[in-house]
């Protein structure tokens, strides 16, 4: 049986308290802070990861690093689903854009990022999404490699799910063309809308996301 001599008890108790305090500081202090520092991959133009930066460092560096971003275009019968975003890629406030957009996190696959982008907006991760294109988007405020996905071939259940998207609205190409350049859409959306018009005839030929 383990026995602590009286003259050693104070030292033992102080040691226990000291290590307990360190543990609590780590768990709810510095350790908690570290866990909150989400890592973003730094990539080249081909999407190859060669580094990592925390979100706090990214905010300070602005457009210094090249980060991958998931964007999902939702289309049904020639109409695009748009939503007013609090802040666009270019820092534009309350601009209309695609409803699903998300940074790809470090060690996350693109497919995982697509599903999480849907889940974070309260949607089913099983909405049919297909890769459309990858392109660089660079401005004075941002520097991103965008993976643009297309969500179409929607059934009734998918459409019912999308109706729960707050302030989501379907726009025809005609309606969008009438408002292009007026500042109500994000700059990134306007660039991608040109691609949508150019390749609309190919949309139904894209393969489904596994």
Q: Residue 93 maps to which CATH number?
A: 3.90.79.10
What's the total number of domains in the chain?
1
* Of 37 and 124, more confident: 124
Q: Which residue has the tokens 């289309």?
A: 75
pLDDT tens readout for residues 70-82: 999 999 888 999 9
Burial class (CB in 10 A: 0-12, 13-18, 19+), 111: middle
Q: Is position 141 within any domain?
A: yes
Q: Is position 113 within any domain?
A: yes
Gyration radius of the chain over CA positions? 24
Q: Is position 195 within any domain?
A: yes
Q: Residue 98: its pLDDT value, please?
A: 93
What residue numbers bound the domain in which 156 lies? 45-205
Q: Which residues contact 105 (CB under 8 A, 6 or more apart)?
A: 38, 39, 40, 41, 113
Q: Residue 78: its pLDDT value, please?
A: 85
Q: What is the pLDDT confidence band of residue 33, given thresholds at 50, 70 and 90?
A: very low
pLDDT tens readout for residues 165-178: 878 899 999 999 99
Q: Report if pTM > 0.85.
A: no
pLDDT tens readout for residues 2-27: 445 455 556 555 556 655 555 554 45
Q: Is position 14 within any domain?
A: no
Q: Phi and psi of 80, rounded to 5°?
A: -110, 140
Q: Residue 162: its pLDDT value, please?
A: 87
Q: What is the pLDDT confidence band of residue 30, given thresholds at 50, 70 and 90?
A: very low
Q: Is position 23 within any domain?
A: no
Q: Is position 122 within any domain?
A: yes
DSSP state of 184: S
Q: Take residue 136 and report the two structure tokens written for it.
A: 């660089």
Q: What is the pLDDT confidence band of residue 55, given thresholds at 50, 70 and 90?
A: low
Q: What is the pLDDT confidence band of residue 88, given thresholds at 50, 70 and 90?
A: low
């Amino acid at each position: 049986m383990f026995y602590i001599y009286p003259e050693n008890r104070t030292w033992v108790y102080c040691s226990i308290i000291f290590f307990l305090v360190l543990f609590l500081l780590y768990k709810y202090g510095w350790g908690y802070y570290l866990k909150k520092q989400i890592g973003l991959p730094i990539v080249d133009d081909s999407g190859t990861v060669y580094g990592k930066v925390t979100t706090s460092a990214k905010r300070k560096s602005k457009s210094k690093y090249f980060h991958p971003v998931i964007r999902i275009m939702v289309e049904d019968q020639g109409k695009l689903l748009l939503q007013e975003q609090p802040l666009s890629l270019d820092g534009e406030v309350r601009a209309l854009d695609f409803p699903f957009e998300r940074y790809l996190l470090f060690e996350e696959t693109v497919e995982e990022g697509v599903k999480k982008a849907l889940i974070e907006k309260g949607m089913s991760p099983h909405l049919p999404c297909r890769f459309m294109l990858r392109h660089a988007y660079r401005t004075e405020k941002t520097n991103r490699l965008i993976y643009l996905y297309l969500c179409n071939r929607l059934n009734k259940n998918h459409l019912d799910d999308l109706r729960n998207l707050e302030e989501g609205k379907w726009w025809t190409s005609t309606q969008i063309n009438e408002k292009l350049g007026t500042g109500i859409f994000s700059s990134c959306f306007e660039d991608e809308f040109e691609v949508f018009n150019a390749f609309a005839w190919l949309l139904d030929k894209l393969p489904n996301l596994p």
